[in-house]
Amino acid sequence: MAEKQLTKESQTRTLRSWMLGLHATHIIDIGGRLGYFAELGRHGGAASAQALAAALQLDPWRTEVWCRAACTVGVLGYEDDKGFVFAPFMAELLGEESPELLTSHVLASLSRDFPAYPEAFRTGATKTFHEHDADFFFHQSRIAALRAPEIVAAARKVPGIEACLQAGGRVMDVGSGSGMTIVRFAEEFPTCRVVGIEPLPYFIEYSRRLIQERGVQNRVHVEPIGGERIAFDKEIDLITMVQVFHELPDGAKLEVLRHCQRSLKPGGVLLLVDRCSPDSGADLRDRRFTMSILEQWFEVTWGNIVNTRSEILQMLGDTGFTVTQENADIVPTYWTFVAEKTR
């Protein structure tokens, strides 16, 4: 295929489309938080700004301004006889539980870190994951709910795991966050036992509530500790660690892997799902690394280091694991390592 010819004009258009994208993300985030999309849905997908504002008890002029802005970025349309309407497919794509709406909430809450970047780049100051606010944790939880089925599906594909969990096997999720994955395992495998390892008080409370609500408290519990303090010894069949490895302080990564290795029964499996930084210049052009590179960018001031694929393989090897599978397809946009306990 011929290389697309880039011109100054086309590059200018590209820059402008990114700036428009920044606005669109915030328009979607704020519209979702204020309930405009849900209210438009309740009006059958068409309403005046005045009607939306009245129903939501919001300022009519500002609501009109939001509606026009949503129109101009293509989220809404306008019809003379109906007022503001959803643009095609947007009612579905921006529904309350839609990944697209939730992603814009997460991006907006992440972007609150950016004003502090220039100073943090000068001073090396950090603001860790745990130092973020409740809004950030809440939207992380909603996104995690979408990922949990993918993680259980990935675990099912590991040879032997499905049969083991059907027979009452034991799962440990390290950095279990809001508890979506541990509850999902318990629901899909009605006799398996599951433990979450989680140090953040917000998530400990959130996941304990979720466990009660879903009625799986007889088989699922959360230990309020970091991975450095796991005390199991040859008791666990499957460990999952999802979006956690790069959150660990660099000095704690090997220690957490050693604790995981000790926890597993012989032949037990660690399913490590995370990001991988590029190993080479060629990786920069490989779309499989895009989200990893961006994740390192939006977490650079948190003190997190996204390791390269070869560094992760080395650490797994050094702590007594054999990687039997690794690729970027098992869980979309993430790198998945299937690591077996070998000694």
Ligand X SMILES: C[S@@+](CC[C@H](N)C(=O)[O-])C[C@H]1O[C@@H](n2cnc3c(N)ncnc32)[C@H](O)[C@@H]1O
Cβ(40)–Cβ(77) under 8 Å? no
Q: How far is Cα 126 from Cα 116, in angstroms, rounded to an integer?
A: 10
Which position among 29, 39, 198, 340 is part of the footprint of ligand X (CB under 6 A)? 198
Say whether 254 sits in a helix, a strand or coil.
helix
Chain positions 29 to 68 lying near ligand X, rule: CB under 6 A, are: none
Chain positions 100 to 139 lying near ligand X, rule: CB under 6 A, are: 129
Q: How far is Cα 239 from Cα 290, in angstroms, rounded to an integer?
A: 26
Chain positions 269 to 328 lying near ligand X, rule: CB under 6 A, are: none
Which position among 169, 226, 268, 278 is part of the footprint of ligand X (CB under 6 A)? 226
- Taking CB atoms, the residue at the shortest distance from ligand X is 177
**Whole-number CA gyration radius for the chain:** 23
Residue 67 vs 172, nearer CB to ligand X: 172
Mask of contacts with ligand X, 151-190, x by CB under 6 A? -----------------------xxxx---x---------
Stretch of residues binding ligand X (CB under 6 A), selected from 29-37, 64-72, 241-249, 282-290: 241-249
Cβ(87)–Cβ(75) under 8 Å? yes
Q: How far is Cα 28 from Cα 31, in angstroms, rounded to an integer?
A: 5
Residue 76 vs 230, nearer CB to ligand X: 230
Residue 223 vs 235, nearer CB to ligand X: 223
Stretch of residues binding ligand X (CB under 6 A), selected from 1-9, 15-23, 34-42, 191-199: 191-199
Does 206 bind ligand X (CB under 6 A)? Our answer is no
Q: How far is Cα 113 from Cα 135, in angstroms, rounded to an integer?
A: 13
Residue 343 C-beta: closest distance to ligand X, Å: 23
- Which secondary-structure segment (H or E) carries 46? strand 46-47
- In angstroms, the Cα distances linking 237 to 111, 121, 192, 306 are 39, 43, 10, 27
Stretch of residues binding ligand X (CB under 6 A), selected from 184-192, 225-233, 292-300, 320-328: 225-233
Which position among 66, 203, 321, 337 is part of the footprint of ligand X (CB under 6 A)? 203
Greatest Cα pair distance, the chain, in angstroms, is 72
Residue 256 C-beta: closest distance to ligand X, Å: 6
DSSP assignments along 164-217, one per residue: HHHTT-EEEEET-TTSHHHHHHHHHSTT-EEEEE---HHHHHHHHHHHHHTT-T
Does 331 bind ligand X (CB under 6 A)? Our answer is no
Does 247 bind ligand X (CB under 6 A)? Our answer is yes
Residue 54 vs 110, nearer CB to ligand X: 110
Q: Whose structure tokens read 């892997």? A: 257
Say whether 24 sits in a helix, a strand or coil.
helix
Cβ(50)–Cβ(84) under 8 Å? no
Say whether 277 sits in a helix, a strand or coil.
strand
Residue 247 C-beta: closest distance to ligand X, Å: 5
Which position among 108, 182, 186, 197 is part of the footprint of ligand X (CB under 6 A)? 197
Does 144 bind ligand X (CB under 6 A)? Our answer is yes
Q: Which residues bind ligand X (CB under 6 A)?
A: 129, 144, 147, 174-177, 181, 197-200, 203, 226-228, 242-244, 247-248, 252
